[in-house]
Homo-oligomer: A and B are copies of this chain.
Amino acid sequence: MPSPRIAIGPAPYDPAAADWIVRAVVEGGGTPVTPDEGADALVWLPFGSPDQLRQTLEAEPGVRWVQLPFAGIERVTKLGLVTSERTWTCAKGSYADVVAEHALFLALAGLRRARTRFDATSWGEAAGTTLFDQRVTILGGGGITESLLALLAPFRVEATVVRRRPEPLAGAARTVATEALDEALPGALVVFVALALTPETTGIIGARQLELMDRDAWLVNVARGPHVDTDALVTALAAGQIAGAGLDVTDPEPLPDGHPLWTEPRALITPHTADTADMIRPRLAARIKANVAHFAAGEPLEGLVDSAAGY
């Protein structure tokens, strides 16, 4: 089989900055080309915009497969680009381990009173809650949830996974369909949001869901800001309706200066830093290399996007 011609876009790009992607394509058995040289497939760089992607695809009708560099691709699907005419893959699952790590970090930081304690300048009373033997609920049944269940396993948690189709998931005590979300919230010490953002999951945590959570529970969002109704969250936190929220994503994002969440003591905010560029690089390179090799061999690709579901 001839080496597939893999365009790397958008062009022009700084070859030094994209060096590791070119290398991944070559290591996967592909021939790197620029997007105007008649490519079989397109590998899209993290710093390309969805608009540039549309233009590139219009100029390259021969592209049968597009590899996106993100795990969450809602900005691309919104433009209507992701159709069944082409095979689309994204980075879903690739960054799952480090994003799950960040979710665990935010949960432990909340339960063990990181903010209060790290700011203290005086000794204090022992306080905090353990995650051992607790009940948790995880929204989403994808790669982040799989990784998170692995990290939570030694804590002997009883995990309920809420997902579109309630197929069982290794390490979860039970999985329930999204329609049963409200029953899965009471009694959970931590509610993790690890979903793809689609019209159906936008605002999935609103005032009613926050009300259903226990007063000592933490909400942790490592997915996308719009999964959570920010105004409802601000109100719930101010009222002490839940113990707190660990947020790596916000809506709006970036969270503007002066937003009430910045001064809410029950909010632990990190600036979308679950997967940093340093963490992404080797993981995306591995995905690209594997997929170029699969594409060359006519094998199924990893991180396949379901164009109907939109993720």
> A residues bordering B, Cβ < 8 Å?
97-98, 101-102, 104-105, 108-109, 112-115, 117-132, 147, 150-151, 153-155, 253-257, 262-263, 268-273, 275-279
A117 to B270, CA, bound (A): 6
A125 to B129, CA, bound (A): 30
Residue of chain B at shortest CB distance from A277: B126
Q: Which residues of B contact A279 (CB under 8 A)?
A: 130
A114 to B270, CA, bound (A): 8
Which of B123, B128, B255 is A276 in contact with, Cβ under 8 Å? B128
Inter-subunit contact B109/A273 (CB<8 Å) = no
Instruction: Say yes or no: A101-B132 contact (C-beta < 8 A), given A109-B114, A153-B154.
Output: yes
A59 to B167, CA, bound (A): 64
Residue of chain B at shortest CB distance from A118: B115
Q: Which residues of B contact A127 (CB under 8 A)?
A: 273, 276
Q: Which residues of B contact A131 (CB under 8 A)?
A: 101
CB distance from A173 to the nearest CB of B (A): 18
Closest 7 pairs between A and B when the two form their complex, measured CB to CB: A123-B254, A126-B273, A105-B108, A121-B262, A150-B154, A126-B276, A124-B271
Q: Knowing that A123-B257, A126-B272 are A-B contacts, what are 12 other residue pairs whose CB atoms are under 8 Å apart, sorted by A's residue number?
A: A101-B108, A105-B109, A112-B273, A114-B268, A117-B270, A118-B269, A119-B119, A122-B257, A123-B256, A126-B277, A128-B273, A128-B276
Q: Which residues of B contact A105 (CB under 8 A)?
A: 105, 108-109, 112, 114
Inter-subunit contact A273/B117 (CB<8 Å) = yes
Q: Which residues of B contact A276 (CB under 8 A)?
A: 126-128
28 contacts between A and B (CB under 8 A): A98-B130, A98-B132, A101-B131, A102-B128, A104-B108, A105-B108, A105-B109, A108-B108, A108-B109, A112-B273, A113-B273, A114-B114, A114-B118, A114-B268, A117-B268, A117-B270, A117-B271, A118-B119, A118-B269, A119-B119, A123-B253, A124-B271, A126-B272, A126-B277, A128-B270, A129-B278, A151-B154, A151-B155
A154 to B257, CA, bound (A): 37
A112 to B106, CA, bound (A): 10
A67 to B132, CA, bound (A): 25
Best-surrounded residue of A117, A120, A125, A275 (most CB of chain B within 10 A): A117
Which of B108, B121, B263 is A263 in contact with, Cβ under 8 Å? B121
Q: Which residues of B contact A98 (CB under 8 A)?
A: 130, 132
Q: Which residues of B contact A120 (CB under 8 A)?
A: 262, 269, 271
A128 to B274, CA, bound (A): 8
Residue of chain B at shortest CB distance from A125: B271
